[in-house]
Amino acid sequence: MIPNREDLKLKRRTAFVTDERFFWHHAGTPVCGCDPADLNPETGNYFQATKHFENAETKRRFRNLVDACGLLQYLDTTTVRRREASDEELTLFHTAAYVKLVESMTSGGDAGDFAQFGRGSFNIAKLAAGSGIEAVNALLAPSPQIDNAYVLCRPPGHHAERDRGMGFCVFNNVAIAAKHAQQKHNKRVAIVDFDVHHGNGTQQAFYDDDQVLFISIHEDSLYPQGSGCTDERGEGKGIHDTINIPLPAGSGVGAYKYSFETIISPALKAFDADLLLVSCGFDASFSDPLGHMMLTSECFGQMAMMLLDSVKVPSCFFHEGGYSEELVPFCGLRVTEALCGLEASRVVDPGDEEANGYGYQALQSWQKQIIDDIYTSSAKPCIDKHPPLNL
């Protein structure tokens, strides 16, 4: 039986922004999820093509679960307009030359490093960026009809840099939305990225900007390698407004919760933004093929709730990575439930019980030392930079 809204006791108005066209994006034909297939006896290459990790199925299953459990009918699916971003909007972050390069690949191509795309994906990538802009517009309207939003879009965006795509990303949806919020709405923005891979493109966009706080919690030295180190803290006016939390492989729920409590929540409260944007990747889950972390779907919901409790401002979550067809739907549902303010889910994730029993799920002493060191070197200088205005 599908529960009614009164029984669910939803506390917040949440927009669920998606479009069938997002699922039509084609990320190329890979081997090991990334590289092209190859058969060349002379070089010893015998790479049989596989399904691309960044495929539509994980996202469709997420959307389908939200629908099947009855939650979708209580989400706002109409307020946020789906539309393509203009070239002017894309160049809020990207160079005009890069936008033209992607547009010129009418049959598809490679936008950079592991950023292949197929025919029609230029328009789909513009649709993802434009829909994110419209979500921000809806949240910052004079009389908003929604409190927060989840943008379930493809392709993802947080790796895309100013002049190239990277890591399955073509245009940087979060960076473009944040630039739009700054320039059109005059807002200070906080961005939190909990994808298992470092949000290098978003960091690049705001590295010298003191009006945007960027925090990335990710697996250390995964992708891009050499990116997201603790000594990357911003520059110029933006010094100390970039915080990187590279956690060791194998980190579980305890390490992530302690990072949120010790670093992320205090920094968000100190910065006091007008808008929160979240790069929401689910590849730190215990069953993801492209990460080595141990998070449960329940933990993703708890992290979303901690973010919402830290800053009482309009919030927009953008779908990024996450490549487990089995677990992504439950992770996405838990985050969506948190956005709605749903206190108790009626949907059981069959994997949570097993994952919660894994060894080392609790905070380990060496993990605590790493996180405490990051607080001292990165979070505390940020907090000290933004003292409360009433003092």
pLDDT at position 228 is 98
Residue with tokens 């965006």: 157
φ, ψ of residue 318 to 5 degrees: the values are -110, 130
Is pTM, for the whole model, over 0.75?
A: yes
User: Distance between CA 273 and CA 140 in Å, rounded?
Assistant: 13
User: Distance between CA 126 and CA 158 in Å, rounded?
Assistant: 14
pLDDT at position 5 is 55
| Contact between 200 and 166 (Cβ < 8 Å) | yes
pLDDT at position 390 is 53
Residue with tokens 């949907």: 347
pLDDT at position 33 is 73
Catalytic residue among 159, 218, 240, 319: 159
Lookup: tokens for 363: 């905070």
> pLDDT tens per residue, the chain (391 residues)?
555 655 677 999 999 999 999 999 999 877 777 777 889 999 998 988 888 999 999 999 999 999 999 999 999 999 999 999 999 999 999 999 999 999 999 999 999 999 999 999 999 999 999 999 999 999 999 999 999 999 999 999 999 999 999 999 999 999 999 999 999 999 999 999 999 999 999 999 999 999 999 999 999 999 999 999 999 999 999 999 999 999 999 999 999 999 999 999 999 999 999 999 999 999 999 999 999 999 999 999 999 999 999 999 999 999 999 999 999 999 999 999 999 999 889 999 999 999 999 999 999 999 999 999 999 999 999 999 999 875 4
Q: Taking Cα atoms as reference points, which of 127, 41, 30, 33 lies closest to residue 80?
A: 127
State the first-to-last Cα distance of the chain, in angstroms, to the nearest integer: 53
**Please, is 172 exposed, middle or buried when counting C-beta atoms within 10 Å of its C-beta (0-12, 13-18, 19+)?**
buried
Known catalytic residue at 159: yes
User: Distance between CA 322 and CA 325 in Å, rounded?
Assistant: 8
Residue with tokens 């029609």: 120
Contacts of 135 (CB under 8 A, 6+ apart): 15, 17, 80, 149, 151, 177, 316
Q: Taking Cα atoms as reference points, which of 193, 205, 191, 200 lies closest to residue 90?
A: 205
User: Distance between CA 109 and CA 96 in Å, rounded?
Assistant: 18
